[in-house]
Amino acid sequence: MTETLPGTPAADGFRMPAEFEPHAGCWMLWPERPDNWREAARPAQLAFVEVAAAITQFEPVTVGVSTPHYPTARALLPERVRVVEMAHDDAWMRDVGPTCVVDARGTVRGVDWRFNAWGGLAGGLYFPWDQDDLVARKALEIERLDRYRAPLVNEGGAIHVDGEGTALVTEECLLSANRNPRLGRESIERGLRDYLGVSQVIWLGKGVFNDETGGHVDNLACFVRPGEVCLTWTDRRRDPQYAISLDAWERLHEARDARGRRLKVQRLPMPGPLSLGAREAAGVVARQGTRGRVAGERLAGSYVNFYIANGGIIMPLLDARTDRAAARRLKSLFPARRVVGVPAREILLGGGNIHCITQQVPAARMSRQRAPVHAGGGRRAVRRHGS
Ligand code: KQY
């Protein structure tokens, strides 16, 4: 049985592992909304299929899909992808899925943040969002993982951790007035310490220019390994992104992580600038209560929005002029992983990218005392969760 736990992960000895630590698998959702995805979401569905197929080369993938879309999703997704019926309001599993935490014995639990569609009624991207807010709980029940319901409005894309006590966030997002208006910086930090098990929070300023999440860090910067951060970058001084990335660069150089280290900062040049085409904008059904799409609008494209799988990097292909250089850069940052590029413009048109549509479940590790001794093997074992 899955329990909703009192207390906090930190008090119970849990921490959020870094994405580069071993995974049991990855969760995604199926894109369906015609007011966010053009042409009734069909091009986006095909892009999501490519992402799921790429990840499933490295780790098990589960996709949640609403009842009417189940037959299509099942038919389009590779057979080895597990498809489960699950209501949702849109397809951003990073944000509506659980943030998993682990303890020293290898137990995995999930944090279920409050979700308000990136800003609630004052600036959020759609209403209602009640089905999205239930997704983390449903995924945790399917995975048979106990759950903490956090008192904070937060999203998985708003946090990155190094797994060694450091979190990376932006002020634009976590201090925004439409997420936790009654909480200041100190209270938010306390919430992150309690629910992620971190002891040091590094605050960047703004997120990527025109990012409709309101500044998610996962489009701007992420940990490559402890002590090393990858930052989206442009050398075009007149680009509005220039000052944002420069500010992040300076803050990262001034920062110390939880272990007192200075950070090595790696620049990852961004694609574009990219903007929304007229036909692309016209394919989205305008609906009251949603943001709508305007041709010519700048897209928040960034190669930092990649997913780290077991042994792989699933990176967005966004611009034929820059994709190859970005892939080479990622290969040099992750020499032990295979870099797989997936065409991702259709995901970008919906407002996010590959990291935003995925959510890892960390591998449960058996402790030395509990691990069975296998013939010919040692005591150390890594178990896929749910097996
Ligand atoms: O990037 C994300 N994490 C979510 C993007 C939401 C966009 C909704 N149109």
pLDDT in tens, 29-61: 999 999 999 999 999 999 999 999 999 999 999
Residue of 100, 173, 222, 356 with catalytic role = 356
Cα-Cα end-to-end distance for the chain: 16
Closest CA to 113 of 68, 63, 156, 71: 156
Give 290-302 as a DSSP string: S----TTPBP---
pLDDT at 254 over 50: yes
Q: What is the pTM of this model?
A: 0.93
Give distance in angstroms: CA of 86 to centre of ligand 1. 19
DSSP strand pairing (108-114 vs 99-102): antiparallel
Amino acid at 55: I
Residue 222 annotated among the catalytic residues of the structure: no
Q: What is the DSSP letter of 381?
A: -
Asked whether the beta carbons of 34 and 284 are under 8 A apart, the reply is: yes
156 ligand 1 Cβ < 6 A: no
115 ligand 1 Cβ < 6 A: no
Give distance in angstroms: CA of 79 to centre of ligand 1. 27
Burial class (CB in 10 A: 0-12, 13-18, 19+), 78: exposed
15 ligand 1 Cβ < 6 A: no
Give distance in angstroms: CA of 61 to centre of ligand 1. 20
Give the residue whose CA is nearest to atom 9 of ligand 1.
351
Q: What is the DSSP letter of 89?
A: S
92 ligand 1 Cβ < 6 A: yes
Query: How confident is the model over 126-149, as a mean pLDDT?
Result: 97
CA atoms of 248 and 242, how far apart (whole Å): 10
pLDDT at 333 over 60: yes
For the four alpha carbons of 298, 302, 305 and 310, in that order, the dihedral sign comes to: positive
Q: Is the peptide bond before 273 cis (omega within 30 degrees of 0)?
A: yes
Per-residue model confidence as pLDDT tens digits over 260-281: 999 999 999 999 999 999 999 9
290 ligand 1 Cβ < 6 A: no
Give the residue whose CA is nearest to atom 4 of ligand 1.
352
Give distance in angstroms: CA of 201 to centre of ligand 1. 23
Give distance in angstroms: CA of 92 to centre of ligand 1. 6
Residue with tokens 């207390």: 7
CA atoms of 369 and 380, how far apart (whole Å): 9
119 ligand 1 Cβ < 6 A: no
pLDDT at 386 over 60: no
CA atoms of 156 and 111, how far apart (whole Å): 10
Question: In this predicted structure, which of 95-99, 219-223, 281-285 has the lowest mean pLDDT?
Answer: 281-285
pLDDT at 384 over 70: no
Atom of ligand 1 lying closest to residue 92 CA: 4
Phi, psi at residue 317, to the nearest 5°? -95, 120
Atom of ligand 1 lying closest to residue 350 CA: 9
Give the residue whose CA is nearest to atom 1 of ligand 1.
352
